[in-house]
Amino acid sequence: MANDDTTEPSTRREAIKYGGAVVAGGLLSGCSGGGSAGAATTETGGSYSVSMSPVGDVTLDNVPETAFTVFPQYADMAVALDHGDAVNSVYVPEMSGRTMNHYYRRLDGVDFAWADLYDSLSDGFPKEQLYRLGSDVHLVDPAWVTTRESWNRSDVEEVASQVGPWFGNFYSGTQGAPPDGYDDYAYYSLWDLFDRLSRVFDERARYEALAAVYTDLVSTIRANLPPKGERPTVVRATLAEDGESFYTYHLNDPGYWLADTRPLGATDAFADENWGDLWGRVDYETMLDADPDVFLHLWGITPDYSMADVRSSLETHAVGRRLTAVADGRVYPAGMRYQGPLMNLFQLEMGAKQLYPDRFGEWPGYEDGDPYPSIPEDERLFDRQRIANIVTEGVAG
C-alpha cells in the first residue's frame, strides 16, 4: 500500500447506481468489497465501475453532474479534475471555500464557487437533506456515516439505492479504526484516493498529470533535506479557545491528514506522546518543556484564526514568550488537515520554506485574510501555470 509520500500514477440519478453485489452484501455485512489497493476501474458496455474500500464496487453509466461532499479534500479533488461545479455542499462553506480559494488565487482560471453551497454538517447530518439535494454521488465514507446520530446501515443502503452511491474513505485520514463490522477496511494515501475519484469523474489523464507534479515536488524536497540531526524540532498545534492551552497533532504518523508534514521529515517535538485520540491537549508549561524550534499553527491560513492574534497571545503570555519558536519569530500559519491534491501541493511548499529556508527559500510571510503569498517564480517549488493548465485545459491525448 502506498503512503502519502509517494505516488504510483497508478438520466442522471437513475443511471448512477451501486453494483448489486455491494448493496446485497458489502454494506450490510461490513465487507470492504473491492477495497484492495489494486486496479480500480472496469468497463462494461457504456458503463464503468470504480472500486474503493469500504464501498466496494460502484457502477456508473455517466459521469456524475452533482456531488455531495462533507470534508473539503473531496471538493478540492473535484476542482482539480475540473468538476468543481458539480459540488453542491461542503463543511462550513465560507471557511472551506475561502481557504481553497486562498490557494487557487495563484492558479490562473481556477476558482471554487462556494457561496451558495449547503453546509453538509449543519443541523447534524440529516438524511432528508440528501434526498432534497438528489446528488448523483455522495463523496462520503459510508462507514463514517453510520457513526452519525440517527444513521445506521439500513439508512446508508437506502440513500445509496434511492438517491446516489457513496464513495469516500474517512479513516485513512489517521489510519484510525473504523466502526465495528468493517474488518476488511483498507487505508489509502491522499493521492490513492484522488486516483480513485479521478476514475469516478473519468479524468484519469488529469490525475496522472497532477500526480507527476506531486512526485517531482516530493522528490525535490527529499533530495534537499538536511541530515536528520540538523532538522528543527517542530510542533503542529492550535491555540485553544481558553488561550491557556493547545490542541496538538503529530507530524509524521500515518494517514493523509499528515500528507503535508510527513514528507518534510522534521523532528516532532511530541513524537513520544500517545494522546489516545486524534490529537492531544497540553498547557503552556508542557509546550515549554517541548520547546520547539518551529511552531506550525494548524488552520492558520483559514479564516477561522488570526495569526496576528495568535502571535500576540504567545508573545504576551508569561510562559509563551519563553518559547524558542516565539523568541526566534518562527510561529507560522499551517494549512488544513482536510487537504485535497491542490491544497497539498501548496501546503508542502509552504512547510518546506517555513522549516528549511536555507534549503528551499524564505517563507515570505502571510497576512490574515490574504491569499497564499506570491512567491517569485525562481523560488517556487512547483509550476503554477502547469497546474492551472492541467485543471482548466486538460491533457492532450
- Considering the domain architecture, whether residues 244 and 201 belong to the same structural domain is answered as no
Higher pLDDT, 168 or 25: 168
The string of pLDDT tens digits covering residues 319-373 is 999 999 999 999 999 999 999 999 999 999 999 999 999 999 999 989 999 999 9
Question: Within a domain: residue 127?
Answer: yes
CB count in 10 Å sphere of residue 85:
13
Q: The pTM is what?
A: 0.90
- Considering the domain architecture, whether residues 159 and 60 belong to the same structural domain is answered as yes
- Considering the domain architecture, whether residues 229 and 287 belong to the same structural domain is answered as yes
pLDDT at 14: 38
**What is the spatial distance between Cα 254 and Cα 321, in angstroms, rounded to a whole number?**
32
Q: Is the pLDDT of residue 175 over 80?
A: yes
- Considering the domain architecture, whether residues 262 and 328 belong to the same structural domain is answered as yes
Q: How many percent of the chain have pLDDT more than 90?
A: 84
Residue 319 is part of which domain span? 213-393
The per-residue DSSP string of 311-328 comes to HHHHHHSTTGGGSHHHHT
- Average pLDDT of the chain is 90
Question: Within a domain: residue 6?
Answer: no
DSSP 8-state code for residue 374 = P
Q: Is the pLDDT of residue 2 over 90?
A: no
- Considering the domain architecture, whether residues 113 and 184 belong to the same structural domain is answered as yes
pLDDT at 167: 98
Q: Is the pLDDT of residue 38 over 80?
A: no
Question: Within a domain: residue 274?
Answer: yes
How many degrees, rounded to 5, is the angle at CA 315 between CA 309 and CA 321?
150
- Considering the domain architecture, whether residues 24 and 113 belong to the same structural domain is answered as yes
Strands 331-333 and 245-249: unpaired
Q: Residue 132: CB partners within 8 Å, gap ≥ 6?
A: none
Average pLDDT over residues 364-391: 96
Last residue of one domain, picked from the residues 189, 205, 221: 205
pLDDT at 277: 74
Going by pLDDT thresholds of 50, 70 and 90, the confidence category of residue 35 is: very low
CATH of residue 253: 3.40.50.1980
Amino acid at 338: Y
Last residue of one domain, picked from the residues 185, 205, 225: 205
- Considering the domain architecture, whether residues 19 and 131 belong to the same structural domain is answered as yes
- Considering the domain architecture, whether residues 240 and 195 belong to the same structural domain is answered as no
pLDDT at 1: 40
Q: Domain count of the chain?
A: 2
Q: Which residues is 48 bridged to in the sheet?
A: 43, 60
The string of pLDDT tens digits covering residues 102-159 is 999 999 999 999 999 999 998 889 999 999 999 999 999 999 999 999 999 999 999 9
Average pLDDT over residues 27-31: 29
Going by pLDDT thresholds of 50, 70 and 90, the confidence category of residue 44 is: low
Going by pLDDT thresholds of 50, 70 and 90, the confidence category of residue 16 is: very low
Question: Within a domain: residue 3?
Answer: no
Smallest Cα–Cα separation from 126: which of 150, 96, 93, 158? 150
Average pLDDT over residues 265-286: 92
